[in-house]
Amino acid sequence: MQNKQEQIPLWRQLQATAHVIQAVREGQSGSAAVEAVSADLRPGVQALAFHVWRNLGRAEALRRLLANRPPPPAADALLCVALALAWTDVGAPYDAFTLVNQSVEAAKRDSATHAQANFVNACLRRFLREQQDLVEATDSDPVARWNHPLWWIERLKRDHPKQWQTLLHSANRQAPMILRVNALQTTVAAYLEELAACSIAARAVGSSGVELAKAVPVAQLPGFATGRVSVQDAAAQLAAPLLLGDAPVPARVLDACAAPGGKTGHLLELGVQQVTALDVDAGRCERIGQNLSRLGLAAEVLVADAARPDRWWDGKPFDAILLDAPCTASGIVRRHPDIRWLRRESDIAQLAELQRKLLQSLWPLLAPGGRLLYCTCSLFLAEGAQQVKTFLAHNTDAKLLPSPGHLVPANSAKPGTVPDNQAGEYDGFFYALLQKLAP
């Protein structure tokens, strides 16, 4: 018996996927665009959209060869969806002829693309006839080869001259599903036994993490509903232990820019009694509360701008501050492949300025001897090493303690191979631990 997803016509999924791709091109986040898709289509559309974003550079290069000028946005999105899914057999979800036929059907059945249905059909039929030659003609295009904007590729070349190719390869693979084990409820070893009893293959990663061999819905995870584990990448799991270190647990901790609350929860799991978690977005603050409620933990959650402490700070210094600053998110494109197409190069300077303001605004709130952990999920030096270098130059009471610096995904499997899941696999992150010197 076919499941519900298999009963949905492919043309409907392609149609909805094209709408998602167009929404991101117009500035909407991929997560929001997928969430707007009807529930029956959403799982299939998300899988197709992720595949498209990981092949969109190639698809756009092919479309330029097939059409002298771009068609209207809706038709262009559908055409690029078809080309992204069909240009190579490696990892293709359907055969090329099926994709072409169903894409043309999608064009015919959508009022936004109906007038261009013949154009879409002509382009895709030509693609089928000349596929090898067309693909070879795009091989010299770096955007087509790496499936990232050119400015992104050039930035990685400058920032990571020895690793940029590995980073781009890694960004186009699916990230592993990693869990953080709640130390207040169980241990990694005990939870691995629970997973084994449910026939879920997994291994330990880091001090508190468990990496699943294959992603599963959270509802299938033993104890998830009662807070035994949380979904959190291994790199993000480093934040709370780095901030706390081996010293006595600080009494009063600020988690600035805390939503959705993963790091807040980890701090509480490690024994911090008083955490103030704030975020400028009220809706995201609700998620902090929901996540803490699932864990059976509590924090003071404030809807506030971390860069304006005059509006929310009570004047009592914090013993430790975690600043997970807003950034380009260039280190987590494996999990959010739309980001590379959503970001603009100018975003880096704008976000770096916001990060500078946050550091300068929060530093006075830290007690002498206290520690501030600055982190971003970015690979770009302007949001990491360069940001901290500038901060240290302007704040003589700050000392950089031993810190990981820029972490990059360690898995170097080539496209089309099976990821080896070696130890050290994580998202791209930056960490700098700063201590405030006594006057």
Q: Left, alpha or beta for 223 (phi > 0: left; psi -120 to 50: alpha)? A: left
Burial class (CB in 10 A: 0-12, 13-18, 19+), 418: exposed
The whole-angstrom separation of Cα 87 and Cα 234 is 33
Secondary structure of 340-351 as H, E, C letters: HHHCCCHHHHHH
Residue 435 pairs in a beta bridge with: 371, 399
The whole-angstrom separation of Cα 424 and Cα 407 is 10
Provide the token pair at 100.
């072409």
Q: Residues for the chain: how many in total?
A: 439
The whole-angstrom separation of Cα 264 and Cα 276 is 9
Residue 374 pairs in a beta bridge with: 323, 432
Which residue from 222, 203, 223 is spatially nearest to 213, judged by alpha carbons?
A: 203
Q: Pick the catalytic residue from 123, 285, 327, 377.
A: 377
Other Cβ atoms less than 10 A from the Cβ of 226: the count is 12
The whole-angstrom separation of Cα 120 and Cα 264 is 49
Asked if 324 and 257 count as a contact pair (C-beta separation under 8 A), the reply is yes
Helices 164-171 and 150-159: angle between axes, nearest 10 degrees: 140
Q: Which helix (H) or strand (E) holds 200?
A: none
50-71 in b/e form (b: 16+ CB < 10 A) is: bbbbbbbbbbbbbbebbbeeeb
Provide the token pair at 313.
């700070």
Establish whether 377 is a catalytic residue: yes
Q: What angle do CA 62, 68, 69 make, to 5 degrees?
A: 95
Helices 73-86 and 10-25: angle between axes, nearest 10 degrees: 120
CA distances from 262 to 12, 165, 237, 301, 324 (A): 36, 30, 9, 13, 11
The whole-angstrom separation of Cα 436 and Cα 70 is 55
Which positions are annotated as active-site residues?
Answer: 377
